[in-house]
Structure 1
């Protein structure tokens, strides 16, 4: 159970209400995509550990983009990786699972963590342990109405849906009260495989238009 103040998501991420998930083959593919996303108004990204070299590339990417983007590290399932990500400057941690040791390490490191789950028990476990928010994954299985169900027994829970969240679903989840939305393929498309960066910028701008706090207020 949480005993001190609950960590918060970084300010830019909280205001943007949108985390763009980048999952590619190699971390050296990140930079042009990050440049395009930042120029299109994206303010928060999650670099995934299933992308080879992510932890190695994290420091130079932070140095280059930290004035424009919050950069978190996702798909974290091992405490050693969490510690490395925190030591190398990650702004937040995302994990697809709810594991006590990950939450404990995040608390010790003083870094916001968003653990994943689907059932009420999993989501409550992460929230009660001090998560900044909990990730409903895969969100497409339950839909935005699930948030109202969760808020019955857990009125203060902060939820970030992930998995199959397209533009329409992003708007619906935020209208239902989600803290933010986590979006991968519907926004990123084939950009990490050499796809059209102008098309990426257009998709990003559409998402920004429905997710930023000013636009959604």
Structure 2
């Protein structure tokens, strides 16, 4: 998986309390062109959602597991069909298990954490929570780390996504601003409208 080649350079973050709704959300996102999604392991029956989504979307879909905290989480997610992993940080258990079987976006915020994630073989550094420092903080990090790919996550709406991409992010992760309440049983028509707005808002920046 190459984050720079993702459609709309977006990783949708699906986190919900209803497993059927979470599954429908992943599938709907793919139908509407957001074809890379991570299912947070905090989602109700998250591994079931990943398995079912993999069956529906096929082996080539960019389908991952998020909120991976331990090596056991990683192994279970891989067994369920996840093609990549996303962590909020890097605890000792994950650090000792690196490199993991699957490409991994490792969460980091400070320069020391960025170095640790990179040394552990992160596919990209998940800058989290991105809203804390904003695009200006990403620019500051890229001065000492120009070769490290960053994917900002946390409070990233369409406007912020454009700004982060302009600041040098290879992609962005979007949860509530994009997915809304769909994974909790919310209106899928509203989800489709949000996706259309998202795609339109990012089109100029992504193709620039």
- 1:196 Cα offset (Å): 2.0
Matches within 5 A, 1:1-217: 8-9=1-2, 13=6, 15-66=7-58, 69-99=61-91, 101-103=93-95, 105=97, 107-109=99-101, 111-211=102-202, 215-217=206-208
Partners of 1:77 and 1:95 within 8 A in 2: yes
Classify the secondary structure of the residue corresponding to 1:144.
helix
What TM-score does the superposition give when structure 2 sets the normalisation length? 0.90
- 1:100 Cα offset (Å): 5.1
Q: Distance in 2 between matches of 1:98 and 1:32?
A: 30
Write the deviation string for residues 53-90 of structure 1: whole angstroms up to 9, x where unpaired: 11133222101013674111000101111011113321
Q: Which runs of 5+ in 2 are unaligned?
A: none
What TM-score does the superposition give when structure 1 sets the normalisation length? 0.86
Distance 1:166-1:11 versus aligned 2 partners, 3 A rule: closer
Distance 1:66-1:165 versus aligned 2 partners, 3 A rule: same
Partners of 1:82 and 1:106 within 8 A in 2: no
Write the deviation string for residues 166-213 of structure 1: whole angstroms up to 9, x where unpaired: 110000001111011000011111212332211211111222234469
Q: Aligned-residue CA RMSD in angstroms?
A: 2.2
Partners of 1:112 and 1:131 within 8 A in 2: yes
After alignment, is 66-75 or 79-88 more displaced? Answer: 66-75
Write the deviation string for residues 88-146 of structure 1: whole angstroms up to 9, x where unpaired: 3211100101235425545242x110111111111121012210001111111100111
